[in-house]
Structure 1
């Protein structure tokens, strides 16, 4: 998985971290009261998981159309509140919004149901793709698969372009992004990425001045403060215990789970930003080859639903203790769990937390740093593995233009990339 914190949206949506821009009709419409059923939640999110192409920004527009305009499960102000919260937190923002809506509608079971239904279609398709690569080894060296690697170059370049403009609007944040890129180029490990994120947090809190946002509409929270504290404690505990288990035991399974949990816990903005962390956890750890990693990442762009479902492909392709369907399920849970815990932890405290200047400035610094981390990943592993000659560069440039200027859907861009790679393979 920008779908890295994005893509054209099928309908207008209030910008992340901004004040409410609620339409009069949606804001004043009566909201349905009373709890719903898990079956209701499952069916709605399954349909969204099958049809929500276009990445996290597009997902948020689909959600607003479904839950604010059509079903009236919540009003525009409450929905904007959830969007702002999930943009503030690490993790897959659109999936976190979906989980929060499921939680509000049908309790904890509704939260789990919403995640399963929204994630299942893309995860299932990526596991089947992994099975095809494993069964027919020649596919990984085909021109079409190489075209998917070139597509990853164009898609990551588009993400860096868009994120840089929105998250680094001034010189201090642009400087933070460059510093983070230099750190992760010099130290291309999880430690380097963590150091760049911490640098952004410290400098952001100390030096940036991000304007305050208006207070959001008050509403009764669906999570108690006690449950919020428990979720936060579990999040921190797993973040500390899993790496310790991996270091002390030396077991590959522990290292896999720790790496994917860390990726889900430290990625601000979700989507494409997770790429360098997953590369460190899977390719550097010997789970999959770099070629298969980029081929799977390219294929993930053509899927509906969350880009974090890419973890299912990596789990299915893994050469470690878990592979196939079990590996896919284990790594999906590992990468999504921290985001779910953070949503549950933050819901009871969000309105007061977001008004603190130090918190706003810290998050702005972190967001600038992740732009730099993604810029570093654009070079290595994406560029060095995907661009092998002039023809590859020309194809990547064409795909970038189709994404940014022609505004093609990533689905069509990925299909064009596969066809272009296949054609270049025939000409070679």
Structure 2
């Protein structure tokens, strides 16, 4: 398979420059509230309807590819759009413009918390943790509806949640995902593969192989290098790179992986972790920019602005390597029934991971009394029934936490 350009999409391939990609995505990075599903809607409006860089079928297949890959799906779709418009520089421009606004906002928030000192008893900070309860609960509900529509997948999600709760480490998360893949191969083999069109991207297979090899070398080699050198910088890069490599289902699912890596080690205390996660709901752009906040508030060096940059690059690097590496092989691979069965199982396990995260650390740290419970229910009602923007709900929860403290 040497040509990966859909006939209807070929006139738009690489017909542009990185500057226009940056400008288009910067607007979205400043205004795209609402999470990854909302981001995909913004992208469609901007690049399919308004700018006509892609057609509907090509965009749908890009979304399918990025949903299949681990990592933040909306950011990967953005990288793929930039790649199709202006090559590798376009992919870099799309990622930078879409990511930078929320990353800067979260780093400023982290530096503000550090400057204020011990905020363990601050009511507004606890309100942010209560907001996280409502946001994660809504994410569980939305993902369960689409990814666990039958009793087999719902049961698989419950089993994955039990594994994640009983084995509260990164290995527990990975084990749940592997179980999902095996269960998909054995129990979820009834659905037929979906139709698709060729992707509007032309990536040489040699580039793809290099990207995939580099992805694997870093995934395997970073833990070994960290153990051999004892370097805290390498340990941090390894933790965030691994989280970015193993997260299926979007930004919310990175919560349990990063919590298992950072809180037990003492790099970030639980209060600061959940406060940052709550604050991340109030900014536009990808939730993975939470990594920049964590890098800034970490106790050991690297921290501050340097730590934020290291963690942000480490958590997103797997996404870029996987997008580049997967494109030339995607059309053939996605047609295999076994591959789609495994993916269905993995997606169900992802719901279980998020359900486990809703219990611990989100619920156990956020809901401590009746007032917290009332605030959490009210926040969920605003998000689910009234469709209130997450940033507004986060602000209201912070105010409520300050009042009830």
| TM-score normalised per structure 2 | 0.95
Q: Distance in 2 between matches of 1:68 and 1:374?
A: 31
Take 1:68 and 1:52, find their aligned partners in 2: how far apart are those partners? 16
**Counterpart among 62, 70, 75 of residue 82 in structure 1:** 62
- Superposed, which structure 2 residues align to 1:313-324 within 5 Å? 313-324=293-304
Q: Is the 1:399–1:417 Cα contact (8 Å) retained in structure 2?
A: yes
Deviation sequence 1:32-59 (CA, Å, 0-9, x none): 5652111111111111100111111111
Counting only pairs closer than 5 Å after superposition, residues 264-283 of structure 1 correspond to structure 2 as 264-283=244-263
Matches within 5 A, 1:248-397: 248-397=228-377
Q: 1:177 aligns with which of 148, 157, 169?
A: 157
Matched, 1:413 2:393: yes
Q: Is the 8 A contact 2:242 2:315 kept in 1?
A: yes
| C-alpha contact (below 8 Å) 2:129/2:278 kept by paired residues | yes
- Structure 2 CA distance for partners of 1:211 and 1:73, relative to 1, 3 Å: same
**Displacement, 1:86?**
0.5
Q: Is the 8 A contact 2:9 2:200 kept in 1?
A: no
Could you list the runs of 4 or more consecutive aligned residues of structure 1 that deviate by over 4 angstroms after TM superposition? 27-34
Task: Indicate which of 53, 67, 78 corresponds to 1:73.
Answer: 53
CA contact (8 A) 1:103 1:222 kept: no
The reply to whether residue 61 of structure 1 matches residue 56 of structure 2 is: no
Aligned length, in residue pairs: 399
**1:266-295 C-alpha deviation (Å, 9 max, x unpaired):** 111111011000111221222111000000
Q: What is aligned with 1:24? A: none
1:154-303 mapped onto 2 (5 Å cutoff): 154-219=134-199, 221-303=201-283
Question: What is aligned with 1:105?
Answer: 85
C-alpha separation between the residues in 1 aligned to 2:398 and 2:160? 32
Matched residue of 1:141: which SS?
A: coil
Q: Contact 2:70/2:246 (CA < 8 Å) preserved in 1?
A: yes
For residues 148-179 of structure 1, the C-alpha deviation after alignment (integer angstroms, 9 at most, x for no partner) is: 00000111111111111211111211111111
Distance (whole Å) between structure 1 residues aligned to residue 15 and residue 190 of structure 2: 38
| CA distance in 1: counterparts of 2:398 and 2:193, whole angstroms | 44
TM-score by length of 1: 0.90
User: For residues 33 and 357 of structure 1, what CA distance do their matches in structure 2 show?
Assistant: 30
Shift of 1:102: 0.7
Deviates more, 1:31-40 or 1:252-261: 31-40
In the alignment, the residues of structure 1 paired with residue 190 and residue 272 of structure 2 have an alpha-carbon distance, to the nearest angstrom, of: 41
RMSD between aligned residues: 1.7
Distance (whole Å) between structure 2 residues aligned to residue 103 and residue 68 of structure 1? 15
Alignment equivalent of 2:123, drawn from 143, 155, 158: 143
TM superposition shift of 1:319:
1.5
Deviations 1:172-224 (A, max 9, x none): 11111111111111110011111111111111112212522443223553211
Any unmatched runs of 5+ in structure 2? Answer: 1-6
Between 133-142 and 146-155, report the one with greater CA deviation.
Answer: 133-142
* 1:10 aligned residue: none
2:233 alignment partner, SS class? helix
